Structure 1
Amino acid sequence: MTTAIEHSIVVYRALGKPVFFGASFKGNLKVTDAVIPSLTKLAELDWLLAPPLKKVVDGTEIEVEVKVSVGQSTFFAQSWEHLLDSHNFKFVAPEVWYVAEDDYFSGEKNETVSSRRYAAVLSLLKILREVADYCDESLSGLKLIFLNKTKLELPITYAASDLRDVPKVKEMEDDLFDASFKHKEQRKVIIKVILDELLKDTRDDSRFMKLLTDFVLFKQRYKDNYDLYTAEFSFEKVLEEVRAHKLDYTIKLNKVFSDIQNQLLAIPAALILVGSKLAPKESIEWQNSLTMLGCIIFVALMDLLIRNQYNTLTAILDEINKQTGVLISKHAALLPKFGDPYKELEERHRHQRWLIRIVDGLVAVMFLCCVALYYWYSTNEYHWLKFWITH
Structure 2
Amino acid sequence: MTTAFDHAVKVYRALGRPEFAGGFFRGTLKVTDALMPSLVKLAELDWLLAPTMKKVVNDAEIEVEIKVGVGQSAFFSPTWAHLLASHNFKYAPPEVYYVAEDDYFSAEKINTVNSRRYAAILSLLKVLREVADYCDESLSGLKFVFLNKTKLELPVKYDAADLRDVPKVKDLEHDMFETSSKHKGQRQVIIKVILNELLKDIAEDARFTKLLSDFTIFTQRYRDSYDLYIAEFSFEKVLDEVKAHKLDYTIKLNKVFSDIQNQLLAIPAALILIGSKLTPKGFVEWQNSLTMLGCVIFVALMDLLVRNQYNTLTAILDEIRKQTDLLISKHAALVPKFKDPYEDLEKRHAHQRWLIRIVDALVAAMFLCCVGIYYWYSTGEYHWLKYWITH
Question: Which residue of structure 2 aligns with residue 158 of structure 1?
Answer: 158
Question: Which residue of structure 1 aligns with residue 196 of structure 2?
Answer: 196
- 1:105 and 1:139 map into 2 onto residues whose CA distance is 28
- AA paired with 1:167? P
1:85-100 → structure 2 map (5 Å cutoff): 85-100=85-100
Q: Secondary structure at the match of 2:142?
A: strand
Deviation at 1:233, TM superposition (A): 7.2
Is 1:21 the counterpart of 2:18 in the alignment? no
Q: Is the 8 A contact 2:84 2:159 kept in 1?
A: yes
Provide closer, same or farther for how the CA distance between residues 148 and 63 of structure 1 changes in structure 2, counting only shifts above 3 A.
same
Q: Secondary structure at the match of 2:212?
A: helix
Q: Secondary structure at the match of 1:137?
A: strand
1:52-201 → structure 2 map (5 Å cutoff): 52-201=52-201
- 1:332 and 1:217 map into 2 onto residues whose CA distance is 23
- 2:202 and 2:140 map into 1 onto residues whose CA distance is 22
- AA paired with 1:182? K
Deviation at 1:332, TM superposition (A): 2.8
Q: Secondary structure at the match of 2:186?
A: helix
Q: Is the 8 A contact 1:87 1:139 kept in 2?
A: no
- 1:334 and 1:155 map into 2 onto residues whose CA distance is 35
1:214-229 → structure 2 map (5 Å cutoff): 214-229=214-229
- 1:124 and 1:152 map into 2 onto residues whose CA distance is 17
Provide closer, same or farther for how the CA distance between residues 51 and 334 of structure 1 changes in structure 2, counting only shifts above 3 A.
closer
Is 1:332 the counterpart of 2:329 in the alignment? yes
- 1:334 and 1:152 map into 2 onto residues whose CA distance is 30
Query: Structure 1: which 4+ aligned runs deviate by more than 6 Å?
Result: none
TM-score in terms of structure 2 length: 0.60
Deviation at 1:74, TM superposition (A): 1.1
Deviation at 1:109, TM superposition (A): 2.6
- AA paired with 2:133? D
Q: Secondary structure at the match of 1:171?
A: helix
Q: Secondary structure at the match of 1:93?
A: coil
Question: Which residue of structure 2 aligns with residue 213 of structure 1?
Answer: 213
Provide closer, same or farther for how the CA distance between residues 50 and 334 of structure 1 changes in structure 2, counting only shifts above 3 A.
closer
- 1:128 and 1:172 map into 2 onto residues whose CA distance is 10
Q: Is the 8 A contact 2:102 2:112 kept in 1?
A: yes
Provide closer, same or farther for how the CA distance between residues 186 and 159 of structure 1 changes in structure 2, counting only shifts above 3 A.
same
Question: Which residue of structure 1 aligns with residue 43 of structure 2?
Answer: 43
- 2:91 and 2:140 map into 1 onto residues whose CA distance is 11
Q: Secondary structure at the match of 1:17?
A: strand
Question: Which residue of structure 2 aligns with residue 362 of structure 1?
Answer: none
Q: Is the 8 A contact 2:79 2:99 kept in 1?
A: yes
Q: Which has the larger radius of gyration?
A: 1
- 1:208 and 1:334 map into 2 onto residues whose CA distance is 31
Q: Secondary structure at the match of 1:232?
A: coil
> How many residues in Structure 1 have an aligned counterpart in Structure 2?
241
Deviations 1:211-256 (A, max 9, x none): 000000000000000000001179xxxxxxxxxxxxxxxxxxxxxx
- 1:109 and 1:154 map into 2 onto residues whose CA distance is 31
Q: Secondary structure at the match of 2:232?
A: helix
Q: Which runs of 5+ in 1 are unaligned?
A: 235-327, 336-391
Over aligned residue pairs, what C-alpha RMSD do you find? 1.8
Question: Which residue of structure 2 aligns with residue 4 of structure 1?
Answer: 4
Q: Is the 8 A contact 1:20 1:26 kept in 2?
A: yes
Question: Which residue of structure 2 aligns with residue 232 of structure 1?
Answer: 232
Task: Indicate the percent of aligned positions where both proteins have the same amino acid.
Answer: 70
Q: Secondary structure at the match of 2:152?
A: strand
- 1:334 and 1:167 map into 2 onto residues whose CA distance is 23
- 2:221 and 2:94 map into 1 onto residues whose CA distance is 32
- 1:208 and 1:159 map into 2 onto residues whose CA distance is 11
Q: Is the 8 A contact 2:227 2:331 kept in 1?
A: no
Deviation at 1:138, TM superposition (A): 2.7
